[in-house]
Structure formats: structure tokens, C-alpha cells
Structure 1
């Protein structure tokens, strides 16, 4: 199919659907100005101080870093926390909300992003499943308890030139050990998955009730294919939107070579004209 035919097919699926499953990777946030850390150069452009230290994204996204370099690791996560809080979700989020509002079962989000942007855009928290956790939720570094708590009371102050946390880091209220974001990291044996597991149970129950599902996948790459696999498991009406990695088998769906915001706005224009 050519580009116009792909968009028309996608629009027809959206019109006919009674439920919208949104699956999203890092590319969804890029149009809001968020970094996606694609490759070491992309990571170091976002955090140049860490090039000096010789740290990669894998080094920082590792629970061992909190014990070895607590100021630096919390500098990285504290900066991200503040950035996500200050970022306004792009227009594409609101397009998805409008489409879902017309469907009997609404929408559910499955995302590997930890930034909380869907909730900031107005998606109900109980309709979002974050398979890698969330930066706005904290846990004990030592997992002395499976309790989780909000990071709302923590306002990180970061020396960006050094990528170091200046103020006191959050602590576990039970054992007073260092706290960390409830994000699944590399080599992470202490990640408390209770919240994510509960979200995914709600998603499974919602899927069970939907008869004419359409899946819109946004900015999910092949490097960590969790989101892509979940999309395809819920085919065959998958609309994969990705500027570079949009290929998908014809028995699973269609691929649109574009960024998330641009493709959603183009689709919305088609749906409005119908």
C-alpha cells in the first residue's frame, strides 16, 4: 500500500473499533522534547557530564550505581524526574484521548516509558500499564519492604554541570536506606513489580471485554522489543507508527513511517473529514 492507502486503512480500523489499545515506546515522548538516549552519543548529548565520567546509559540505569555513586546516579534520575514533571505532553496524546472517548470501551495504555506523560495528558491512571515501572514512584534500594510510595514530596536539586544531586536524596521510611525510583533497571533483582503487575492484570481484564480492538503503537523500537511484541500479540489490527522501524507482517497490521505526533495529526484530519 502507498502512504495514503495506509492512512485510510488505519482510519477505517479506528472508526470501527470499540476499544483502543495504545502501546508506546520512547519515540512517543521525543515529540514533546524528551531524549530517547538512542546510542551512547544520544545519551551523552543529554548528559555530557557523564561522558567525562565514562558512564553509559547501562551504567546509570543500574541499581548498583545508587550504592557506588549515589549523588551521580540520583543526579541522573533527579534531573529526569524534574524534566518529566516540567514537560507538556504533545498534541498527539490529546488526539488519542478524543478517539478513545468515542469508543464504548475507551482506551488502555501499555508503555515501556517511565515518564508518566500519559497520566499528565489526562489518561486515567487505572488505564495505564507501565511495564518498566515509573520514575514518580519510589521503593527501598534494598527492598526491605514491597511498599511503594510517591516521589511527589521529593524536589531534586541537581548540579547539571556535574550531574550530581545537591540536596538530600529520598530515604526508605521503614529502614532509612537510600530510596530509588521504582523502575526496572539492568541487573535488577530488587525491583518491586507489585504495581506494574497490578496494572497488567487490569489491562488483561479490559482486553477480555473488547471485541473490535485496534492497536496504535507509537515509537517502539526493536532494541527492547517488549512493546512491539505486546502489540503483535493483540493483532491483527495493529497500526505501527515509527519513522525508521515501522515494518510489520501483513497478518499483524500496517506500518506507517512517521513520527508519533505527525502521524496522529494526519490520521485525525482524515477522521474529522469523514
Structure 2
């Protein structure tokens, strides 16, 4: 049940959106929760999904780093291989479609800035040229030795993971140039060898979009403060923002920003209803 005060905030969010000429979607890990994806809130949340790593005392910050790939690729790819298969098999929740419906009514459509590496926006139908994946993508690979600044799709790699042991049981992918073990093209913790050429090209598309979009509205979804890349990016844009976050939905007082302490799918569904009442859809 949505309270009357929440309804008022949803109406305010819809009003901000209706006044914009482009939708800037900024998304963190909380965006995928309604699709059934884990967000690893704290060590216990991470270990609940990966009990084999709990037994070894390996934290998220340890396994989500490049250190294990050269010497223990079966362990590194046990974690990332499971995530790759999980993301391939996950269906984006209905909120993604609401965002596309909203964007379709705007002159400059939408652009996505996300720290998520799961590829869910592409899977939901957003074009690659309208997405920045600021931490890279698990669906692309690079050489662990960075023998070249090369990035290639992970499509041919089918990980087989023993979850009881937390280990990859088939062969890990290899660099086609030097034969070293390949790793995901993701910016990890303490990572000095991430190849960022793909991300830099995405940023160029974003800058072109921002230049032609005079009155964007930001819809921020599930972006937390622990790793605040997405939040900082959105706040730097100096545009009206709708912040949707179950746990951290505060905004600065005195701004036009709206805070909704809700999950992404529920909030977007309610915003869509409010936009319908404003006559937003079909007005393009």
C-alpha cells in the first residue's frame, strides 16, 4: 500500500519527468534486485550466495580482484563464471520496459549510465550506443597480462561451475594473442590493468547526448553510497533527479530532487501510472 505522502512524491517525480526532453538513467546494483540478482550488501550477503568462499574466508573484495586469475583461474572463474551464467539466464524485470516507454515519449530518448556489469539494459532492448558501463562488462573479455589493449566478446565461453567447491571445472578462456588466461573486462578492486577502451568510447556517446539534451531528468535506481560512482555522476549533472532506493533514498533539501524509498520495479510502475494521469503517453 502506497501512503499519501509517497503518492505525492510519485506525482512530483512524474511531473519532473514530463517536463524533460531526455531521460538520463543512472543505475547501481539495486536495479537488478527485482530481476532476482544479488546486490552483495555486506560480507554476510555475499557469503550467503557463495558459501564455498565463506569457508575459505574469501571476501567479495578479495575475489572481485584480478589477483586470482593468473595462479588460480579455476577459483577466479568459479565466481565470475557463475555470475556470467546467472546474468545470461536472467530476464530483466518490467521496470526496464517502463523506462523505455518513458524515453520513447521524449525528443532525445534516453541514455544509461550504470556501474552494473550484467548487461541487463542491453538485454532489455536498450541500444549499445545509449549505454555507459562505467565498470565494464562481464560479457566481454581481456587478457590478464594485457598483452594488447584488446577486448572481445565472451560469447564462446560456457562456464561450468561446481558451486559446492566454488570452482570452474572446464577450461578457462584464453587470450587469442598470447594464450594467457583471459579475465572479464571489468574494473575490479585494486585493478591497474583494466582495458577501458570500450568504456571510453561509450563516454564519448554520452557526452554527445548530453550536449544535445537541454533539459534532462535523471532517474537514479538502486545506486548506493558504498561505491558511489553512479551517485556522484548523477549529482554532477545539475539536473532534476528522481532517486529510487530502498535503503538510501535521501536527497538534498531545497532542490527539485525527489526521493522514493522503494524498489526499482515498484517505483517505476507507480511513476508510469502517475504519468498516464498527466496524459504523458501518446503526446509525442
* TM-score with structure 2 setting the length: 0.94
CA distance in structure 1 between the aligned counterparts of 2:55 and 2:148, rounded to whole angstroms: 36
CA distance in structure 1 between the aligned counterparts of 2:177 and 2:75, rounded to whole angstroms: 24
| Correspondence 1:84 to 2:84 | no
| Correspondence 1:115 to 2:118 | yes
CA distance in structure 1 between the aligned counterparts of 2:76 and 2:115, rounded to whole angstroms: 21
Match in the other structure for 1:4: 7
Distance apart, 1:273 and its partner CA: 2.5
Match in the other structure for 2:190: 187
Greater displacement, 1-10 / 187-196: 1-10
CA distance in structure 2 between the aligned counterparts of 1:236 and 1:165, rounded to whole angstroms: 45
CA distance in structure 2 between the aligned counterparts of 1:243 and 1:156, rounded to whole angstroms: 33
Consecutive unaligned residues of structure 2, counting only runs of 5 or more, are 279-284
Match in the other structure for 1:165: 168
1:71–1:252 CA distance, 2 compared to 1 (3 A): farther
Aligned length: 274
| Correspondence 1:235 to 2:238 | yes
CA distance in structure 1 between the aligned counterparts of 2:72 and 2:175, rounded to whole angstroms: 18
Tell whether the 8 Å contact from 2:215 to 2:239 is kept in structure 1 after alignment.
no
CA distance in structure 1 between the aligned counterparts of 2:200 and 2:41, rounded to whole angstroms: 27
CA distance in structure 2 between the aligned counterparts of 1:268 and 1:225, rounded to whole angstroms: 27
Q: CA RMSD in A?
A: 1.1
Match in the other structure for 2:58: 55
Tell whether the 8 Å contact from 1:235 to 1:252 is kept in structure 2 after alignment.
no
Distance apart, 1:168 and its partner CA: 0.7
Distance apart, 1:233 and its partner CA: 1.2
Greater displacement, 67-76 / 108-117: 67-76
Tell whether the 8 Å contact from 1:90 to 1:261 is kept in structure 2 after alignment.
yes
Match in the other structure for 1:271: 275
Match in the other structure for 2:282: none
SS in 2 for 1:137: strand
- Find 1:94's aligned residue among 74, 94, 97: 97
* TM-score with structure 1 setting the length: 0.98
Match in the other structure for 1:217: 220
Tell whether the 8 Å contact from 1:235 to 1:253 is kept in structure 2 after alignment.
no
Consecutive unaligned residues of structure 1, counting only runs of 5 or more, are none
